[in-house]
Amino acid sequence: MITRMTIYVFGNPDVLMDSLPLRLLPKLREYFPKVVFEVMDPAEEWNVPEDVVVLDTVEGISDVVLFDDLEKFIPAPRLSMHDFDALANVRFLKKLGKIKSVKVIGVPFGTGEQDVFEKVVRILNDKILK
């Protein structure tokens, strides 16, 4: 297992359907004490490594999914800088060459917290931290 890794977590604590990644944090930090789970704001400047792992809510999925191709995502409409989301920022950094690879652990809206936690743990153990 990798001894030191950072996983970037997105979510909005004020919006129930977008807060699951944040609600999982205490259990994930306890289960993976050597992993840094850093909460990020999509609107702020990021200082991330070339290989990025993200935990975020993904609209349109019904189960926890590991994505390794940003092209599988449909960009959200952006009418102002307020609409500039995490996906747009990752795509921009990748285009600039600042990010080499991105893996997104996507969690669905409206799913049981314990079930999602177990599936995220399985993905981290089997595909990310191996």
Domains and CATH numbers, the chain: 5-128 (3.40.50.1450)
Q: What is the pLDDT of residues 4-60, one digit of tens each?
A: 799 999 988 888 888 999 999 999 999 999 999 999 987 677 888 899 999 998 888
pTM of the model: 0.85
Task: Judge contact between 117 and 27, C-beta under 8 A.
Answer: yes
Which 3 state secondary structure label does DSSP give 108? coil
Q: What is the pLDDT of residues 87-117, one digit of tens each?
A: 777 777 888 888 899 899 999 987 889 999 9
Q: Is the dihedral of CA 71, 59, 81, 23 positive or negative?
A: negative
Question: For residue 11, what are its two tokens?
Answer: 């979510």
